[in-house]
A and B are shown apart, each in its own frame.
Chain A
Amino acid sequence: MRKQLVIYLMAGRDTPDLAAAAVAGGADMIEIGFPFSDPLADGPVIRAAAESALAAGMRTAACLECLAKTRARVGDTPLIPMTYASLLEAYGWERFVTDARAAGATGLIIADLPAGERTDVKRIQLVAPTSTDERIALAAVETDGWLYLVTLTGTTGARVELSTALDAFAARARRLTDKPLYAGFGISTPAQAAAAASVTDGIVVGSRAILVAGQGAEALNDYVAALRKALDSL
């Protein structure tokens, strides 16, 4: 089966164009960051991108509009808002889910809402190398579609080497669930993408995608195409 390639972009004026370019380059899904002022799971690149997005006025209503405009550009490519609980708390949990769906979202990730909490809000769960078997099993039952494997013990951001924890972690998760496993955090090069995808069903690229997106849609298209090629060579 085709290894899934998920590209993370911060919500902003250029996001619809950038998402279209990423999909043209071979992305299978797009995560759209709804920025939060205090994003605990994020390293310097996404944190700074969130800060700029907020300064540019990307509040929840603007993010939902951005989502709808992106939907109009990418056909039926899955679109997944990724955000933090405080935004849902303010907007209304149910209302957020409803309005995001209406704007074209196909899933949801809440970075600071671990499995077992607010089980009424269907979302893609994250698990980490520190997660116990019990928690991985719980997250797998609760997750919406696929399970997000955080490859390393840490925040988002490109790393020089792919996490050495991933192989054993992915094997452990496989024993505990049949749900598809996508690896993210710390993946930025085509070689890392291929290595991570060789033990999972897909990968997520965030910080580097945001940096490349800063150079424009064409640069992003080329970058995503290189990742796609690496995944297809497996």
Chain B
Amino acid sequence: MTTYGEWGGRYVPETLIPALDELTDAWNEAKQDPSFLAEIEALGRDYTGRPSPLTRAERYAPDKRLYLKREDLNHTGAHKINNALGQLVLARRLGKKRIIAETGAGQHGVATATACARFGLECVVFMGSEDMRRQAPNVERMGLLGAVVVPVEFGTKTLKEATSEAIRDWITNVETTHYVIGSCVGPAPYPELVRELQAVIGREAREQILAVEGRLPDAVLACVGGGSNAIGMFAGFIDDADVDLVGVEAAGAASLGSGRAAILHGARSSTLADSDGQIADAHSISAGLDYPGVGPEHAYLRDIGRARYITATDDEALAAFHGLARTEGIIPALESSHALARVHDLDAELIVLCLSGRGDKDLDHVLSQP
């Protein structure tokens, strides 16, 4: 079983083990199959609009050379589509006809619903009722795309509970259903699978920055919820020892900054939990970061010192949200705004930041802030 140092694993009921084995085998075959890789690449190019541009943000950070990796310009407006399309191609290879997903901000739900519409597969998305309120436009979008959105009304009513319900559905319908998990979390092989499908972000960004600047950046920066846009970005630079890899967590959901070892959603990772191992509630203005867990590979990168993780508060993220809109004409997702908020404090001069999504979904929520 795949672990990252002492992190990761497969802490799930036995019912899912055969499906995880099957997924692991399918993935190991697919990632070496040129026709699979060609299909993913063609979808990225012709459907998502890859490569996403790298945009200099001169007015937002006049004293730096800041470049934004524009995942916000992807079809559906975030990096989540990279993973959703890839997993659907895999689900088709597995012969699964029904697709389920969890969603927090709604971006992963929209991406999965979009990919299901594209391939003609049934799609059910679990979403906390609190998040449905915060991200209403994305709920409408999923409906338009033909997905069924199932409200999750208990516990925190956010991403944590939505993920638990998705896993319970998978336990029940595992023979017909593929679970498209939305971040590099969950039992093996998901963390690796999602990283590899998001690694396109870092691969492109590395080539692009070398092309415009002729050198590698001093730092790359990404927000961290479950950690998928960050791990995809980091993947491109992980072997470049001089590039500082920086993840920004929401201050009220800092699983890496203030978490402890616990087991949530099938993996052992750094988690917001109490001393009894009970999972704690996260708090963030941004639904996509409002999650007490994080991908196990991030816990490992933190421990070995290859990446570091800092935080931004709700207010700092809001200020960055407004700031980027006014200075660059780009409305960022509240999630990505957390990474933007930390740009000015870095010593680094040349920075590549993953702008993981656009902020259209957040307008109502931001404008209703006092």
Using CB atoms and an 8 Å cutoff, list the residues of chain A in contact with chain B.
36-38, 40-41, 43, 47-48, 51, 54, 59-60, 84-91, 111-115, 117, 125-132, 135, 139, 150, 153-155
Contacts and interface: CB of A to CB of B under 8 A. Distances in A.
Given A111-B13, A112-B13, A115-B14, A43 B263 contact: no
Contacts of B265: 38, 40
B266 A112 contact: yes
Contacts of B260: 90
13 contacts: A38-B265, A84-B263, A86-B273, A89-B262, A114-B14, A126-B13, A129-B15, A130-B17, A130-B18, A130-B19, A131-B14, A135-B18, A153-B172
B96 to A, nearest CB: 14
B168 interface: yes
Contacts of A86: 262-264, 273, 277-279
B277 A41 contact: no
B329 interface: no
A155 B154 CA distance: 17
B264 A38 contact: yes
A20 B339 CA distance: 57
Interface in B240-262: 260-262
Given A40-B171, A86-B277, A154-B172, A112 B18 contact: no
Contacts of B174: 130, 153
B263 A89 contact: yes
B116 to A, nearest CB: 22
Nearest to B271: A86
B10 interface: yes
Contacts of B14: 114-115, 125-128, 130-131, 135, 139, 150
Interface residues of B, number: 38
Interface in B71-98: none
| Most chain A beta-carbon neighbours within 10 Å: one of B17, B168, B173, B276 | B276
Nearest to B276: A59
B13 A51 contact: no
A128 B277 contact: no
Contacts of A112: 11-13, 263, 266
B15 A90 contact: no
Nearest to B277: A90
A154 B10 CA distance: 18
| Most chain A beta-carbon neighbours within 10 Å: one of B171, B172, B262 | B171
A87 B13 contact: no
Contacts of A150: 13-15
A113 B263 CA distance: 11
Contacts of B9: 117
Contacts of B276: 59-60, 87, 90-91
B262 A114 contact: no
A131 B268 CA distance: 23
B155 interface: yes
A88 B11 CA distance: 12
Contacts of B261: 89-90
Given A89-B263, A90-B273, A114-B12, A154 B171 contact: yes
B22 to A, nearest CB: 10
